[in-house]
Amino acid sequence: MTTPRENRIPPGQQLVAPGKWPIIGERLPTETDTPWSLRIKGEVDNPVTLSLEELRSLPQTTRTMDIHCVTRWSMLDVTFSGVLLKDLLAKAGIKPEAKFVSFLARSKRNHATSLNLDTAINLNTLIATEVNGEPITTTHGGPIRNIVESRYFYKSVKWLEQIELLTADRLGFWEAESGYHNQADPWKEQRYMAPTIDRRTSLRLIETRDFSNRELRSIDASQRNLAGLNAHSASLRDANFSGTDLSGADFTNANLSNAHFHNANLFNALFADADLEGADFSGADLRGADFTGTSLIGASFVSHQQGIEVGAKIDETTQLPPSAIAPLFPEQLHYVNKATG
């Protein structure tokens, strides 16, 4: 029995337009003359380095799955082919001490992610070289990327060049730097770890109306008066500004990925060059707001609550350039285009 499509979309996710696969995070691997290879090291009996050709000559597995990005976009029925992690590790020999697996990319920031080893094996983690019957393109992580089903897509590292088995966990790039949840189960909405900022600090900061350059992930600033807030270059992933007065606020260059602006007053707010991936603007007043240079993949301007449409207030004074709104979900794009006339 197959699951109906609408039951395959986890909470808070929307489908991308057909054929539109966004590029998230790093866009290219490190440039080197060294041919691509895959190293298997750590708690294994036989550490080994496989060339791309050797990897391709191993028994291949093909799996069709759904992709869910933490910035709220999903894609159904994507087919990846490659070698199962389980099969690769069986060749290398898993030592009994091995409890975690770390995937490392050939990229500038040594991008990595990790999983509990049993989980990685049970989820049929694939060391993939093909997508939908073609080699994976460079921008999407080719020639080799690991693919972890049923977890947010940040567990699937692009340009994979090393698999290391560990006795203790080693947090990956997003998990350590951005507070992304280490379990990452989309059906449980495990997007972020618990906030690190305590209640007293956040109340004091709300008082000063100066968030500039601060790391304030998941801060609760809902239902507040923050008119004229200075949040220049602040890190505000997952921040809650629901119902807050932010008229004239300056969010220039801020990271507002997955921020909640539901019913917020954003009259004349400045978002120039801000990261707004997955942000929610449903019901917000966006008259005079400036979205020049923003990234809006996965962002929402309209939602439905008990069948009632809750849309953002957008008019000709809202600056939403065509390049900013191009990657919106079809329904969101339709709403924005209708609102701006």
Residues that bind Mo ion (CB under 5 A): 24, 69-70, 154
Specify the DSSP element, H or E, that contains 62: strand 61-68
Question: In the bound complex, what is the minimum distance in angstroms from residue 157's beta carbon to Mo ion?
Answer: 11
Q: Does 157 bind ligand MTE (CB under 6 A)?
A: yes
Question: In the bound complex, what is the minimum distance in angstroms from residue 104's beta carbon to ligand MTE?
Answer: 9
Q: Does 107 bind ligand MTE (CB under 6 A)?
A: yes
DSSP for 259-296, please give it: -B-TT-B-TT-B-TT-B-TT-B-TT-B-TT-B-TT-B-
- For ligand MTE, the closer CB: 174 or 211: 174
Q: Does 313 bind ligand MTE (CB under 6 A)?
A: no
CA distance 171 to 151: 16
Select the residue interacting with ligand MTE from 36, 98, 123, 141 (CB under 6 A).
Answer: 141
- For Mo ion, the closer CB: 72 or 224: 72
Residue 141 interacts, among ligand MTE, Mo ion, none and using kind-specific CB cut-offs from 5 to 8 Å, with ligand MTE
Residue with tokens 């309209």: 302
| CA neighbor of 136 nearest in space, from 195, 213, 196, 52 | 52
CA distance 263 to 282: 6
Residue with tokens 């979205």: 291
Residue 293 interacts, among Mo ion, ligand MTE, none and using kind-specific CB cut-offs from 5 to 8 Å, with none
Number of CB atoms found within 10 A of residue 10's CB:
17
**Which region, judged by CB under 6 A, interacts with ligand MTE, from 21-29, 56-64, 237-245, 291-299?**
21-29
Select the residue interacting with ligand MTE from 9, 23, 197, 310 (CB under 6 A).
Answer: 23
Report which residue's Cβ sits closest to ligand MTE: 25
Select the residue interacting with ligand MTE from 56, 63, 86, 140 (CB under 6 A).
Answer: 140
**Helix%, strand%, coil% for the chain, nearest 5:** 20, 30, 55
Q: Does 191 bind ligand MTE (CB under 6 A)?
A: no
Specify the DSSP element, H or E, that contains 175: helix 173-177
